[in-house]
Structure 1
Amino acid sequence: MVVGAGIGGLTAAVRLAVGGHRVTVCERAPEVGGKLGLLTRDGFRFDTGPSLVTMPQVFADFFRETGDRLETVLDLQPLDPIAHYRFGDGTTLESCADPFEFRRRVDDAFGGGAGADWAAFWKRAERIWAATYEPFLASALDGPRTLARYATRLRDLAAIAPGRSLRGMATAYLRDPRLRQFVERYATYTGSDPRRAPAALASVPYAELAFGGWYLRGGLRRLADALLARCAEHGVAVRTGTEVTRITADARGVTGVLLADGGRLPADVVVANADATHVYQDLIAVPSAARALRRTTPSLSGFVLLLGVRGRTPGLAHHTVLFPPGELPGSYDAEFDHVFGDPGRPVPDPTLYLSVPDDPAVRPEGHEAWFVLVNAARQGTGRGAVDWRTPGLADRYADLLLQRLAERGYDPGDRLLFREVRTPADLEARTHAVGGAIYGTSSNGARAAFLRPGNRSVVPGLFLVGGSSHPGGGLPLVTLSAQTVAGLVGPA
């Protein structure tokens, strides 16, 4: 039994079916995909979640090991640039997957030996990746005991620089504050604050720039469609519109699930592809796990604008990152003070992330589908939270973001046909992600990135998969999470 049909749940279901298990997936929404959402309007198709595929080898392994190869199922396109960056002083940089070319671009953009600085940082990031991939990303963790065992591997431990933050790592290698700001942005890939996130997260830019950024022709929603088809091929029963309200267990372990319509489905294994806090507080009472989660810092969320735009914008990249103008380059402090403050507050002048695929499948001819994302405090009250349900707040903030886009040279003006707004409250309502925290818990803190809720629960037969559990959020990591869970469950 799999609870939730996000990417982690679907890939886990397929792997378990390949292993001989009879698998049913229950999904409360009318469609599969979880946070990999889709909005269609007036001939436009908007991905409402991830807009970039990284680590394509993870998906290649999955499709090869479960049936037809990736390239026969999905049209994966490499991006160059992966993203176009514009810093506060107007300097621009285009990221790419060729390390030598990227070093040249860094030198051209910043001068002053920035390319050599980047090369030294890149070498350290590569060491961190090598030290962490197998034991921390592609394997199950056993809480603090895993870190204790890892501490005996002194060279690997030295590589990940325990006790140093991502900002500290960037500062140690990179003299140019704009280049430090570039690195610090990657903390948001785990919903974290670069001032508190561990230096080990240098592996995040390494993975993106080493293996490239990719786009799925037709939109990333195609991945969920392909996984649903793969489920059908292997006899997985996928029940949408079916909400699980309780995971049942006895002294020996899980026994099944209860449904909102009063039904019950028996199971000797339950894989929960749901927010870990929701699982341990609402679906099954595990007080020790719930207490541990309350001691963590929840991840940030996102505020999204989906814009239907008439006409074409010359020179617009697939991904554009616009740092606030007039701000001291490299200073992310104001943004993260707002997002993680007590209480959290909407960021008045945030970094703007703009995704505009040049793909006829997602827009009418002669138009553009704009996805605009900013970092945002999660839904709620208190530290790191904003009540996005406050009447008028979402529309006022959407107006402000359109103003900020215009100030930075990306004004749709009278070309704007419509806008759709998605707040952290909307994400919470749609996916049961508590507070709309995209990644469950953040990586804020020296050990936080390595101590996420484990894939194997203390309840026999209960396993967790997805962005709020080990090894973390993002399409490749939740796919690795599913691989780990299938290995823990074993063949039928």
Structure 2
Amino acid sequence: MARIVVVGAGVGGLATAARLAATGHQVTVFEAADTVGGKLGRYAHDTPAGSFHFDTGPSLLTLPEVFHDLFEATGAKLDEYLDLVPLDPIVRHVFPGGGPALDSCADPVEFAARIGAAFGDRAAADWQRLWRRAARVWNASERDILRRTVDSPRDLASLAWRVGDLAAIAPGRTLRGLGRRHLSDPRLRMLLDRYATYTGADPRRAPAALVAVPYAELAFGGWYLRGGLGTLADALLTRCLDLGVVVQTGARVTRIDATGGRVHGVRLAGVTAPVPADVVVANVDAITVYRDLLPRPRRLAALTDRSLAGFVLLLGVSGSTGLAHHNVFFPRDYDAEFDAVFGDPGRGVRARPAVDPTVFVTVADDPMARPAGHEAWFVLVNAARQGIAAGAVDWRRPGLADAYADRILEVLAERGVDVRDRLLFREVRTPADLDAATGAPGGSIYGTAGGLLRPANRGPAHGLWLVGGSSHPGGGLPMVTLSAQIVADEIGPAW
């Protein structure tokens, strides 16, 4: 039985702790915040009309089998803890210039029919051809990458890729390029581009292999958890406690002791004595681990381009607007948005708030989320990370956040959804707020931007492991949960 310390009680940390405790290890989790869940945040706002409840992080659960596997591996059933609600549409896409919206769904035949009804038979045929390619990419990724360690480019190069897999993955091609090659309708290209932002990346630079992301969502479905996605954190905490894991909140790890090439434990803020450990699992951003927590700062071996961040409005809205659970309102010029969010430091172009951004609106049809006769809106736009460098924006600048919130509400009004005279309240969350609340450098949602190679799960000292969205296999709830499975399997059982 090993003494294991998990640093951080996000989904990755709690999932790892539960798996390790179920196999006989002695596990302690230290979380700097007062609550567990990490980026799976929650916010409640009381009004005379009643209470509004928001998920302030992920709003969609995909690949449910990953979570069924997690709970079964720890001796439980997912349905005993969580109420999964399938969504149809998964996302309602509203395109510029008017015309029909497009509702995505988990039935590929039905979705192709919806595309045909909205955009014509050629568009439907284009999508079906891309879908077959996406299936090959997904199958190769799921088989060879998502459930195993990938420590270096050499590991990727050594995979026994099948010829068909390589042709589908198209190394060297971008997601944007893939869309232009396969999709004749510009609206479908726009839909595909959006999935690069799921991994924090610019579709003009993101690898074509990210076509697996829409496949995973549309093949296995999108789900809501009744009571909010934050209930996943509650369920994982309960599993951990039932398995004997010690979870301490308000306990900030300031250093990982790793002299002599192996871990010996951790040190906590305000505590003199070190906490001994045979194994340390870090569920904090990989850059933070390498730069701040090790005895000597180290460079990451993998590419570490920072992902985009998000600017969020939490709105209490009176009445009903008839929106779907998830809605995306696209801009007229998608490239202008990416130019603003990412900037181009090489050409001296600074990042800035996008004037006409894509607006993502989540409206949960859940009585637990809002009073009767009202709606709780989570509004998200892509944003540059917090900072003063050319590729960032100083969101702490006085007046900027409120002015940009006004602009987003104006954009929604321009796109046919004006709720400015129906607001009971609005709360603003900037990338600077996410940085402060979760320790995500600059408020980057996914840590490192999308790609096949991310910081490895195996740390630079023996007994040190990394889980979470900034490490392999990437961001998003299912990928974070798979990182926990990879690490727990590598550590192995206590017996």
* TM, length-normalised to structure 1: 0.95
| Superposed CA RMSD | 1.3
Task: Return the match for 2:245 from 222, 236, 239.
Answer: 236
CA distance in structure 2 between the aligned counterparts of 1:115 and 1:175, rounded to whole angstroms: 10
User: Is residue 40 from structure 1 mapped to residue 49 from structure 2 by the alignment?
Assistant: no
212, 217, 232: which one aligns with 1:223: 232
| Residue 377 (structure 1) aligns with | 384
The offset of 1:139, in angstroms, is: 1.0
User: What is the match of residue 69 of structure 2?
Assistant: 61
1:414 aligns to 2:421 (yes or no): yes
Q: 1:395 aligns with which of 395, 402, 414?
A: 402
Instruction: Report if the CA contact (8 A) 1:23-1:236 is conserved.
Output: yes
Q: Which residue of 2 aligns with 1:18?
A: 22
Distance 1:117 1:286, change over 3 A: farther
- 2:26 maps to a residue whose letter is R
Which residue does the alignment assign to 2:166? 157
State the shift of 1:381 in Å: 1.9
Q: CA deviation at 1:484?
A: 0.2
Is 1:339–1:377's contact at 8 Å kept on the other side of the alignment?
A: yes
Moved more, 412-421 or 281-290: 281-290
Instruction: For residue 288 of structure 1, report the CA deviation from its aligned partner.
Output: 4.6
Letter in structure 1 aligned against 2:167: A
Q: Take 1:318 and 1:154, find their aligned partners in 2: how far apart are those partners? A: 40
Give the CA deviation at 1:72. Answer: 1.7
Task: Give the conservation status (yes or no) of the 8 Å contact 2:291–2:298.
Answer: no
- Find the aligned partners of 2:285 and 2:134 in 1 and give their Cα distance: 30
Matched, 1:488 2:495: no
Query: Following superposition of structure 1 onto structure 2, how do residues 193-342 of structure 1 map, counting pairs within 5 Å?
Result: 193-263=202-272, 264-285=274-295, 287-290=297-300, 292=301, 296-313=304-321, 315-324=322-331, 327=332, 331-341=333-343, 342=345
Q: Tell me which amino acid in the other structure corresponds to 1:484.
A: I
1:355 is aligned to 2:362? yes
Summarize the alignment of residues 459-474 of structure 1 with structure 2, pairs less than 5 Å apart. Answer: 459-474=461-476
Aligned to 1:172: 181
Equivalents in 2 of 1:252, 1:202: separation in Å?
A: 39
Quote the offset at 1:395 in angstroms. Answer: 0.8
Residue 133 of structure 1 corresponds to 142
Q: Aligned with 2:158: secondary structure? A: helix
- Taking the aligned partners of 2:185 and 2:298, their CA distance within structure 1 comes to 45
Which one is further off, 105-114 or 77-86? 105-114
Alignment partner of 1:84 out of 85, 92, 105: 92
Q: Which runs of 5+ in 2 are unaligned?
A: none
Q: Contact between 1:150 and 1:157, CA under 8 Å: does it hold in 2?
A: no
Whichever residue aligns with residue 416 of structure 2, its letter is: G
Deviations 1:420-476 (A, max 9, x none): 110000000111111111111112xxxxx1220000112101000000000000000
Contact 1:340 1:383 in 2 (8 A): no
Letter in 1 for 2:137: I
Q: How far did residue 352 of structure 1 move?
A: 0.3
Instruction: Give, in whole Å, the separation in 1 of the partners of 2:190 and 2:239.
Output: 40
Contact 2:134 2:212 in 1 (8 A): yes
Deviation per CA, 1:3-50: give whole Å up to 9, x if none: 000000000000010111100000000000000000011111100000
Distance 1:237 1:405 in 2: 46
State the AA in 1 paired with 2:289.
V
TM-score, scaled to structure 2: 0.95
- Answer yes or no: is the 8 Å Cα contact 1:52–1:214 preserved in 2: yes
Letter of the 2:341 partner, please give it: V
Q: Which amino acid aligns with 1:225?
A: D
Secondary structure of residue in 1 paired with 2:179: helix
The range that moved more, 301-310 or 254-263, is: 254-263
1:64-92 Cα shifts (integer Å, max 9, x gaps): 22122111211000000001111012231
Partner of 1:441: 448
Q: Which runs of 5+ in 1 are unaligned?
A: 444-448
AA paired with 1:155?
A: G
Following superposition, the deviation at residue 250 of structure 1 comes to: 2.0
CA distance in 1, matches of 2:173, 2:461: 35
Task: State the Cα deviation string for residues 78-107 of structure 1 (Å, max 9, x = none).
Answer: 000001111012231000000000000001
Q: Secondary structure at the match of 2:473?
A: coil
CA distance in 2, matches of 1:336, 1:413: 27
Letter in 1 for 2:475: G
Q: Residue 393 of structure 2 aligns with which residue?
A: 386
Structure 2 CA distance, aligned partners of 1:459 and 1:130? 32
State how many pairs are aligned: 479
Task: Give per-residue Cα distances to partners, 1:201-250, cap 9 Å, x unaligned.
Answer: 00000000000000000000000000000011100000001110111112
The answer to whether 1:147 aligns with 2:156 is: yes
Conserved 8 A contact 1:131-1:159 = no
